[in-house]
Structure 1
Amino acid sequence: MLFATRRSFNATKNILTNNPSSVTRYLSIKSATEPPAKWRDGFYKREDWLRFVMQEASTNEVLIYVHGFNTTQAGNLRRLDKIKAGLKAQGYKGAVIGFDWPSSGNPLDYDGDLGRAKQTAQYLISELAIPLMFLPERPKVHLLAHSMGGYSVLKGLQDMGDSKGPGNWALDQVVFASADVHQPSMERGAWGALIMRHRSKRFTNYYSGDDNVLKLSKFINGTRKRVGRAGLPSPAFSTHIDVSCTAQFRRDETNLPDISFLSHRWWFESAPFYKDLALTLAGKDGFSSGTRLKGPGRDFTLNVS
C-alpha cells in the first residue's frame, strides 16, 4: 500500500501525528491492518517510491485518493484499501495511491481540519501529482476526492497557479464524491470551475441529496450549498459532469454495513459506485455504457443496480 503524507513524525513515539509536517513523506506498507513495526521502516526516497507506484500499475495510469474531514490515519488506510479492491473488481488496472493530510479524526474539529487541509493542499499537487505526471512514462494521473478532500484539491490547484510547476500540465480525470465544496464556486466562470477546467481533462461530481454530513456542513458554512449534496450549479462547463446518486444510495442502504456517517461514506462500500467510477477513470461515458440515466438538463443519475 502506497501513500504520501503531510503528517509530522514523532520519532520518540514512532507515530505519525495529526499535526502538519514541513516535509512530505513517502510510505510503502504491506496492508492497512499491518503497518511496519516501526513507521520509519516504511519511509522511502521519493524517486524510489515513485518507481514502486509505476510497478504497481498494469496500465500507464495512477489514481490518487484524497480523504476528507474527520479521518484518522488508520481510517484513511482502510478506505484506501477498499478503493483499491473495489476498483480492481471492476477491471481497473492502474495504481491506486493515497495523499494523507493531517485530519484530526475528530467530528467536532471542523475548523481545525479545514485549516490543516488548506495548509497542506499545495503539496498534493507539487509533491505528488506533478512528479507523477512528469515521470518518463508520462502516466495519466487521476484524482478521487471525498468530502473536504474536494476543497483540498481545489486549493492545491489554486496555490500552484500558472507561475509554478513545469510548464503546461493537466490531470486526466478528477472525481469528487460527497465533496464539501461551496456550490457557487463551481458555476461556469467561478474560480473553482475555472481551475478545474484548466487543470483537468474532465471533472465528475458524484452527489447524494441524502448526505446528512453535508447537510450539517451547509449550515456550518453559512447555509451555502455543497456540491456533494446539491450537485453542480447551472450553468456549468461542458466537461464538468454531474451524477446524482441519491436513488442508488437508497437502494444500497439496507444492504450496506452499519458504519458511522453512512450517508456520507457509503460510496466506499458500493459496488455500483465502483462500476461507474471505473468507467469514468477510463474516460468513458456512463450513459453510453449503461451505468447512468439522463436526468434533467445535463445531469445524470447513477443506474447500475
Structure 2
Amino acid sequence: MLAACVDRGQTPIIPEAARIGTVQPVLAATLRTPDPETGWFDNGRADALRYLSLDVAVPPSHRRGRISNGYTSPDPSRDFTIAARDDLNGAQSFQSRLQSHIARKPADERDIVLYVHGYNNSFLDGVYRTAQIAHDFEVPGVAVHFSWPSAANPLGYTYDRDSVLFARDGLERMLRNLANQTGGEIVVIGHSLGTMLVMETLRQIDIASPGWADAELGGVVLISPDLDVDLFKTQADRLARMPEPFAIFVSSRDRALQLSARINGASNRLGNLSDAAELSEYPVTLIDVSEFTTLENGGHFTVGTSPVLISLLSQSGQLRNAFQKDRAAQAGLLPGTAITVKNATQLILSPHLVLQE
C-alpha cells in the first residue's frame, strides 16, 4: 500500500550507489512524454520514441523476487537505485550503445531480453522490474525495457488499454531495430496488459512481413497475460508461424486477473487458464504456477516474485531445455506434471516437488 502513496514517477540519480550495490545495466525506449518538473517521464503519449541507457544498482540486501523502492528518497543499501542515466540521441545512438553492450558479452551470452511492462506501471516501475528480472534470473545477455504510456494509476485501466493500442507502432520500430543487431537471440517478455501489446505488435508485423516473428525472435514469454482467450487466438492465427519457444505463465489464483475477467464479462483471461485443451491448436507451453501463489505476491507476477520458483527457473539450462521444440522431451525437465494436448503442452509446477529434489 505504501507504493500507492508515493510518487513513482521520479527518483534522484545517485552515482555512489554503484559502489554499494550490484550494477545492472538497462537500455530503455519509451513512448511516454517527458515531465519537465522531474526530468523523468509521465503518462502522456509521445509522438516519437526516446531512448536511454541506465545503470540500476541492486542493493546488497536484495532478496530474490523483491523490489525495494525508495523512489524520491532511495537508500542504496536497501533500495533499487538509479546510479547513472544517459539520454541517447535517437535510434542510431541506441543501436550503437546496444551493440557496445553486446560486444562486451561472451559469445554465448549475447541474447537480447526485451521486457514490456503491464498495467499501472510508471517508467521507473518498469525499469526496476527489468533490472530485477535480469539480476535474479541471471539473464545471459542485454536487458532492454520498452515503456509504453501507462497511467500508473489503479483507476487508469481504460487509459492503459488505449495506450497499448497507441504503442503498437513504437514497439514494432523497437523490435525491427533490435533484429538488425548482431548478437544472439531476441526474447520478448510481456507482463499483464503488456502481453496484449506484444501480441498486437507481432500480429501487425507478421501481416506486413509474413514469418517475421518466428524468423527474428528466439522466444516469447507471456507472464500473467491480461488478455482475452479468443483475442489471443485471433492474434496467433495471423502469425505465419508462432515463435518457439512460446511460454505462457498462468495461475488460477491470480487475483488481479480474476478481477479483470469480471470487469470484462468473461470467465477467464489467458493468464488464469487451467486447461491446455483451450489452446490445443497452438504450439505453446502453458506453465501453471498456481501452487507458488501466496497472499504476499497475489499471483499476478508469481514467476518473478517467488524465490523458490526463481531459483528453479534460473538454474543453468533448466528453463531453456524445458521449452525446447521437441515437446516429447519436456516431461521431467521441471518438477511437476506434464500434459500434452495436440500442439500445446501444459506444465503444472509444484513447490512440494521442488523441495524434494
**Does 1:267 find its partner at 2:303?**
yes
Alpha-carbon distance, 1:61 to partner: 1.2
Per the alignment, residue 154 of structure 1 pairs with 199
Deviates more, 1:203-212 or 1:169-178: 169-178
Alpha-carbon distance, 1:296 to partner: 7.6
Which segments of structure 1 move beyond 6 Å, counting only runs of 4 or more?
165-168
Contact 1:7 1:19 (C-alpha < 8 Å) held by counterparts = yes
Alpha-carbon distance, 1:200 to partner: 1.2
Per the alignment, residue 186 of structure 2 pairs with 141
More helix by share: 1
Aligned pairs, number: 287
Map 1:172-187 → 2, pairs under 5 A:
172-186=218-232
Alpha-carbon distance, 1:48 to partner: 2.0
**Are residues 166 and 47 of structure 1, via their aligned partners in 2, closer, same or farther at CA, if it must alter by over 3 Å?**
farther
Alpha-carbon distance, 1:159 to partner: 2.3
Per the alignment, residue 101 of structure 1 pairs with 148
Contact 2:250 2:287 (C-alpha < 8 Å) held by counterparts = yes
Greater gyration radius: 2
Per the alignment, residue 131 of structure 1 pairs with 177
What's the CA shift string for 1:167-192, capped at 9, x where partnerless? Answer: 68331211111100111234xxx312
TM-score (normalizing by structure 1): 0.82
Per the alignment, residue 98 of structure 2 pairs with 50
1:200 counterpart SS class: coil
Q: CA RMSD in A?
A: 2.8
C-alpha distance in structure 1 between counterparts of 2:264 and 2:105, whole Å: 39
Map 1:1-305 → 2, pairs under 5 A:
1-11=26-36, 13-31=38-56, 33-35=80-82, 41-44=86-89, 45-55=93-103, 57-58=105-106, 59-88=109-138, 92-124=139-171, 126-137=172-183, 139-164=184-209, 169-186=215-232, 190-195=233-238, 198-231=241-274, 234-237=278-281, 239-249=283-293, 253=294, 258=296, 262-274=298-310, 275-276=312-313, 279-281=318-320, 283-284=323-324, 287-295=331-339, 297=341, 298-303=345-350, 304-305=354-355
C-alpha distance in structure 2 between counterparts of 1:51 and 1:11, whole Å: 30
Structure 1: which 5+ residue stretches go unaligned? none
TM-score (normalizing by structure 2): 0.71
C-alpha distance in structure 2 between counterparts of 1:174 and 1:46, whole Å: 23
1:289 counterpart SS class: coil
Report percent identity of matched pairs.
Answer: 20
Deviates more, 1:44-53 or 1:142-151: 44-53
Alpha-carbon distance, 1:72 to partner: 1.6
